[in-house]
Amino acid sequence: MKTSEWLQVVSYFGALLALAPLLGLFMARVFEEKRHPLFFLKPVERAIYKLAGVDAKREMRWKDYLWALLAFNLLGFLMVFGLQLFQAHLPLNPQNIPRVPFWLALNTAVSFMTNTNWQAYSGEASLSYLVQMLGLTVQNFVSAATGMAVLLALARGLSRRCADTLGNFWADLVRTTVYVLLPLSLLFAVFLVGQGVVQSFAPYATVTTLEGPQQVIPLGPAASQIAIKQIGTNGGGFFGANSAHPFENPTPLSNFFEMLAILLLPAAQICTFGLLIGRRRHAWALFAVMLLLVLAGFAVAWVAETSVNPVTGLSAWMEGKETRFGVMNSVLWGTVTSAASNGSVNAMHDSFSPLAGLVPLFNILLGEVVFGGVGAGLYGMILFVILTVFLVGLMVGRTPEYLGKKIEAREVRLAIIGILVPGFVILCGAAVALLLPSARAGMANAGPHGLSEVLYAYASAAGNNGSAFAGLNANTPFYNGTLALAMLLGRFGVIIPVLGIAGGMVRKRVAPPNSGNFPTDTAAFAVILTFSLLIVGVLTFFPVLLLGPVVEHFLMLAGRSF
């Protein structure tokens, strides 16, 4: 690795470590309703409640909280679905793009509702400016805010004593949007415009190239969507090439800050969680586990991608990479975007070497808990924490406790459901796709690489990531329908158990600490939690990973490619 690349990697993680605690402290003050630098926006918050007819001070039990969340998300789905079906008759469509086909519209609406942002279409060719803004960009905000709301409910469930309520969903949704997502996205969008990201309502430009033929240059209000897609760990690109497109990611500086934005909120939310539950050391233990796994994944991918490929005889092969940024930025972006359930890409993961492609795939298969999405990553990690303290309790012969509250059979069952549902969906979906000839026809590659393409698609959907291996034609009724189902189960199959755990824990008393407790703020806890994550991931997916990227790696060493 060149010195400049070392400096960039150190600068990246240094900036993350410096900014995450500051943003985490700010968010904690927002959600505790203490004074903060944006407190002057309080009238805006009150106006939204009044306009919506919401009593923000009315606390909700966990089932009420869940029903409010589900109803709101259903409304968002219907809005995006309808906008696509009727876009030919709506304004802000200067290219006169026709309606989106039913199955593609269904897939896209589910995708953006679940914060997945899987895209089986090319944005500049399929969606009008109005649909991109009113449909997709709005969902980028509220789907991220939904994930954060679930995390806040869980934090209250773990920290409150003998209570019955978890806060108010509408208040959590509005505060996250008004005080966190909107201000950060506004600042970031202005920065991106300054770097050259387009933000325009003008029709596409037609120009004559130096060779003589004409070329259509797509435009549109891209910067506003790119900002929230990175900050909200959404990942949906305004253009089909995503962040490899120069109108989305024009400069090395924009590339650095877009990568930083991917992990910033997921990292900061860990600090917020520690402050809300009054356990900062525990939060830093969780942070250390996540950071260690990201660094390990990047190291494996970097070594694999820069080793000599026996098939080509080249190292650091540029095929599928963006020449403006180079291999290191492609590998780092691929690692962090899959760790954070962001799903944006500045290179094609299909072009990575087998082991380098294994890293983003395995990040997703772990459940998107290595930082993960806004809110979603941390509440997914808490499921593994509950499983870990339960296993430790069994080993030492004591009733397991977490943050002073007993972990009983109900919490363990719900945690296991939340952990296993995404894996079940991934394996079943990929198995069915590989059995059907019509589904296999969409694979661009045969052998283990083709298996990786299909597995990655269902992992990305169930993990609510949204990135693709880029070698699979997923715009068919089968893939649009089954991947939409995978997104729904992957999102709400975890949210429902998490809120169920929060609803049970909030009613429990906090026992005073004693010598029999297993501390969750030590290096020993961090090590055990790390191994719990890896063991669950390996036991669930080892056979299919062995048949896919691992076999492909050994075949590559023998001089064979797919």
Q: What is the mean pLDDT of residues 159-168?
A: 93
pLDDT at 399 over 90: no
- The token pair at 147 is 């994930």
DSSP3 helix / strand / coil % (the chain, rounded to 5): 65, 5, 30
pLDDT confidence tier of residue 112, bands split at 50, 70 and 90: very high
Tracing tokens 């070392």 back to the chain, one arrives at 6
User: Would you kindly state where each structural domain of the chain is located, as residue ranges?
Assistant: 349-557
Note whether 518 and 525 are within 8 A (CB).
yes
Compare 237 and 10 and report the one with higher pLDDT: 10
Helix (H) or strand (E) holding 221: none
Q: What does the mean pLDDT of the chain come to?
A: 93
pLDDT for the residue 560: 85
Q: What is the pLDDT of residues 166-216, one digit of tens each?
A: 999 999 999 999 999 999 999 999 999 999 999 999 999 998 888 888 888
What does the alpha-carbon distance between residue 100 and residue 132 come to, in Å, rounded to a whole number?
A: 13
DSSP E strand boundaries for 401-533: 401-402, 405-406
Q: What is the pLDDT of residues 410-426, one digit of tens each?
A: 999 999 999 999 999 99
pLDDT at 280 over 90: yes
Note whether 461 and 116 are within 8 A (CB).
yes
**Beta strands 214-217 and 205-208, pairing class:** antiparallel
pLDDT for the residue 131: 96
Helix (H) or strand (E) holding 537: helix 523-545
Note whether 85 and 106 are within 8 A (CB).
no
Q: What is the pLDDT of residues 68-91, one digit of tens each?
A: 999 999 999 999 999 999 999 999
pLDDT for the residue 515: 66
Q: What is the pLDDT of residues 202-253, one digit of tens each?
A: 999 998 888 888 888 999 999 999 999 999 999 888 998 899 999 999 999 9
215, β-bridge pairs: 207
pLDDT for the residue 196: 95
pTM of the model: 0.94
pLDDT confidence tier of residue 472, bands split at 50, 70 and 90: confident
Instruction: Please spell the DSSP secondary structure of 458-513, one letter per residue.
Output: HHHHHTT-----S-B---SHHHHHHHHHHHHHHHHHHHHHHHHHHHHHTTSPPPPP
Please list, in sequence order, all residues whose beta carbon lies within 8 angstroms of the beta carbon of residue 65, skipping any fewer than 6 positions away: 153, 166, 167, 168, 169, 499
**Beta strands 401-402 and 214-217, pairing class:** unpaired
pLDDT for the residue 559: 85
pLDDT for the residue 60: 97
DSSP helix/strand/coil, 401: strand
Q: How many CB atoms lie within 10 A of CB 431?
A: 13
Of 96-110, 220-234, 305-319, 532-546, the poorest mean pLDDT is in 305-319
pLDDT at 162 over 90: no
309, β-bridge pairs: 314
Note whether 349 and 456 are within 8 A (CB).
yes
- The token pair at 116 is 């997945």
pLDDT confidence tier of residue 445, bands split at 50, 70 and 90: confident
- The token pair at 409 is 């059979």
Note whether 363 and 370 are within 8 A (CB).
yes
pLDDT for the residue 322: 84
Tracing tokens 């990175």 back to the chain, one arrives at 230
Note whether 350 and 411 are within 8 A (CB).
no
pLDDT at 458 over 70: yes
What does the alpha-carbon distance between residue 336 and residue 212 come to, in Å, rounded to a whole number?
A: 41
Region of 242 (left: φ > 0; alpha: ψ -120 to 50; beta: rest) is left
Note whether 511 and 328 are within 8 A (CB).
no
Note whether 223 and 198 are within 8 A (CB).
yes
- The token pair at 250 is 């024009």
